[in-house]
Structure 1
Amino acid sequence: MSSTNVEKTMRLFGDQTNFASGALLALSLMSAVAITFIAPVAIAQEKPEAPPAIKVTAEKALVQPVAKTMWVSGTVVSQQDAQVAAQISGQLLMVANVGQSFKKGEVIARLDSANLAFDLEEQKATIQQLTARLTLLEKQVKRLTQVAKSQSASKDELDEKQAEQDIASHALIQAKAVKRRIENNIDKSYVKAPFDGIIVERMLQQGEYGQVGQTIIRMVNMNNKEAIVKAPLEAAHYIASNSMLKVKQGKHTQDYKVTTLVPMGNSLSRMMELRIDLTNSALAVGSAVRAELPMSESEDLLTVHRDAIVLRKQGSFVFMIDDESIARKIPVEIGAGQGDFIAITGDIEEGEQVIVRGAERVKEGQAVKLNKANAEVAKL
């Protein structure tokens, strides 16, 4: 083969090699482009799995009468809280201990009455003397009266004996009164409970000398209780005796009856006094309570349970459950409260279900599922 043919053959072979390499490179580029465009399409076609429905508790929005209210502070007191004092003077022989319970009329303290006992014996002897003296005078008057009829005795002598008889009679009456007073003082040496209650404080101890009117013991009836509440005068228009008010201590709230309303205030506080009956309640005497007072006439408003309200920096809202069991976030404005319910204004209607438990875990448009017991109630 000539050198010219060899060169042509080499050029032809080189061209074919370059062509094959170019074709391979083009095929690689086309594959990369195809993968680039096809992969997102395939990914887009794979639908993500929906999150499982969250179990929640819901209640219906209700229209009910609501009035503006305010909570005011009060104090629990006993209606029977007495500082029992001595009615006679004497040394204390016995004083009940703090914490002891007594029934009305039982002895809670005793004073020394020995001197009174001596006075009583002396007075009994005086009465016997006066009784004997009066008996003698009565006989003398009777005899003189018979003698005077025969004119054997002077009328002046008879009148004198009758006057002595009257004096002796009145002296006997006076002596008997003194005897009863001594007996009464002896009885007062036994200081008795004025009502059922317990001893909460001792002002005098056994062995000390008590004067008339000096407090010995403080006694309190722990069952007969009431709350004293200071309320704005404006509330007098919406509260009456025997009306029911909510009284709260800590997390415990209960309705109690108003027993006394004094619709009068002073120029400084503009406050009036309310007394609420707490008889036989578990609230301790001296504890602080809060009472809910109406401050306006009631009107029918749309309400939801307080637990349905979700508070955020952006505002307040509730989650309403639609017919497809999807949670819908509804912005609301909060109004006056009424017990466990609170008035709202928003795009929600009476009877619609709002979430009261689990709302903090729910997002807009998320599927929810009512708890079993709640679901059965919702069907009613």
Structure 2
Amino acid sequence: MVQRRSNRTGLPWLVAVTVLLLTAGCGSKEEPATPPVSAAPQTGIQAAVMEIKASEVPIRVEVTGQVAAVYQAVLSSRVQGTIDKLWVREGAQVAKGQKLIELDNRDLEAELARAAAEVDNARAHLDRMSTLYKQDAVSKQEMENATRGFKVAEAARKAVLAQLSYTIVKAPFDGVITEKKVEEGELASPGQPLLKMEDPSRLRLEATVAEGDLKAVSRGDKIPVTIDALGGQVLSGVVSQILPAGDPQTHTFTVKVDLPRTPGLKTGMFGRLQLDKGTSRTIVLPSSAVVERGELTSVFVVGSDRIARLRWVKTGRRLDGRIEILSGLNEGERVLTDAVRGADGAVVQVVNGQ
């Protein structure tokens, strides 16, 4: 009986020891806790910032056109004949009245000789009738018939002379030959284009303007015209003509702007002009404050905590070294003036403000 009591007393102690050993063994397998990682120090930059303010900028519409000559002509013959002489080629400088093309005129020369002979006969007959009429040997009717016959013969001779003059094509003004469509020996028909010429000293830009923008231009206005072929040179043009009838399909009107004499300016060159349609209030930034990466555009916004953060924006027009911001920025915010110095998350030490 005594031995049985001692066994009951040692069992709880054994269980306690076992639990203690298991607890100690499990604790030895746990990994030590990882200490917290401290954040890396932020990059610091020195840069100028500017406060965003909306400003009034002009509303401009760009219109394209081509350079054309004020005076240009397509020369043709009024009679049919073989081209006997071709005196000019493309690029030839010609003067007003200069002979350019001469047609074979042998048939007309023969016709002129016949007409001149008829005039001589009619004059001789008129002289004879006049002498007889003074002698009352012929009637007044016969005298009038002789007079009319002479006038008809003279008119026929003048008509042949006119036809003969049409066999020579002359320059209507001082200019340069731009295109030659025939060669010697070819047959020229009435109305057939033979040569093209223009006056290169007087050129203008012919542009098509939408009907909604037509009110922004008036005759006599001075408009800057950019010629890309001349390295983007800007010329001072003057609106000389606005055609009264527009294109009913495109709803555009032709505007002609006279250009000053400029070395290298030629017909057919591409030109651009800008029409001012008032002003609008918008946000504009210098180009240096904008980062362009492909089709994406961004700026570095500096908050009150002086940390620069990259922000995507939507841009619009480019205005003399400035870029219009359509969305993404608000008035009162600050951005880096020189975006090249920016880094997302960098602490900004403001050098100066604009």
SS in 1 for 2:212: helix
1: CA distance, partners of 2:261 / 2:193:
28
What's the % identity of the aligned pairs?
A: 18
Asked if the contact 1:262/1:274 (under 8 Å) is kept, the reply is yes
1: CA distance, partners of 2:321 / 2:240:
25
Return closer, same or farther for 1:241/1:93 CA change in 2, 3 Å cut-off. same
Asked if the contact 2:210/2:252 (under 8 Å) is kept, the reply is yes
Asked if the contact 2:297/2:315 (under 8 Å) is kept, the reply is no
Return closer, same or farther for 1:340/1:245 CA change in 2, 3 Å cut-off. farther
2: CA distance, partners of 1:246 / 1:86:
41
2: CA distance, partners of 1:199 / 1:75:
19
> Which has more helix, going by share of residues?
1
Unaligned stretches of 5+ in structure 2?
A: 1-43, 302-307, 343-347
Q: Which amino acid aligns with 1:271?
A: T
Shift of 1:197: 2.1
- In the alignment, is residue 78 of structure 1 matched against residue 69 of structure 2? yes
The structure that has the greater radius of gyration is 1
Q: Which amino acid aligns with 1:86?
A: S
TM-score, normalised to structure 2, is: 0.66
Shift of 1:138: 1.0
Aligned to 1:310: 290
1: CA distance, partners of 2:159 / 2:53:
72
Aligned to 1:183: 161
SS in 1 for 2:278: coil
Alignment of 1:245-256 (within 5 A): 245-250=223-228, 251-254=231-234, 255-256=236-237
Aligned to 2:185: 207
Deviations 1:351-374 (A, max 9, x none): xxx97xxx4654564869xxxxxx
1:161 to 139, 143, 162: 139
1: CA distance, partners of 2:91 / 2:57:
45
2:129 to 137, 144, 148: 137
TM-score, normalised to structure 1, is: 0.62
Deviations 1:321-347 (A, max 9, x none): xxxxxxx99999866555556667877
2: CA distance, partners of 1:241 / 1:311:
42
Shift of 1:264: 5.3
1:280 to 261, 266, 273: 261
Unaligned stretches of 5+ in structure 1?
A: 1-49, 55-60, 145-157, 320-327, 349-353, 369-380
Alignment of 1:293-372 (within 5 A): 293-294=275-276, 296-298=277-279, 307-312=287-292, 338-339=319-320, 359=338, 362=341, 365=349
Aligned to 2:104: 112
2: CA distance, partners of 1:228 / 1:269:
16
1: CA distance, partners of 2:151 / 2:176:
42
Cα RMSD for the two superposed structures? 4.3
> Which has more strand, going by share of residues?
2
Deviations 1:66-99 (A, max 9, x none): 3212323212222333221111221111122122
Return closer, same or farther for 1:189/1:209 CA change in 2, 3 Å cut-off. same
Shift of 1:300: 7.9
- In the alignment, is residue 269 of structure 1 matched against residue 242 of structure 2? no
Deviations 1:28-54 (A, max 9, x none): xxxxxxxxxxxxxxxxxxxxxx99x99
Asked if the contact 1:88/1:185 (under 8 Å) is kept, the reply is yes
Shift of 1:232: 1.9
Asked if the contact 1:68/1:336 (under 8 Å) is kept, the reply is no
2: CA distance, partners of 1:174 / 1:69:
67
- In the alignment, is residue 290 of structure 1 matched against residue 268 of structure 2? no
Asked if the contact 1:62/1:304 (under 8 Å) is kept, the reply is no
Shift of 1:185: 2.2
1:89 to 80, 95, 116: 80
2: CA distance, partners of 1:246 / 1:183:
51
2: CA distance, partners of 1:178 / 1:312:
80
Shift of 1:63: 10
Shift of 1:265: 4.2
Q: Judge which range, 329-338 or 131-140, deviates more.
A: 329-338
2: CA distance, partners of 1:266 / 1:110:
40
1: CA distance, partners of 2:128 / 2:244:
70
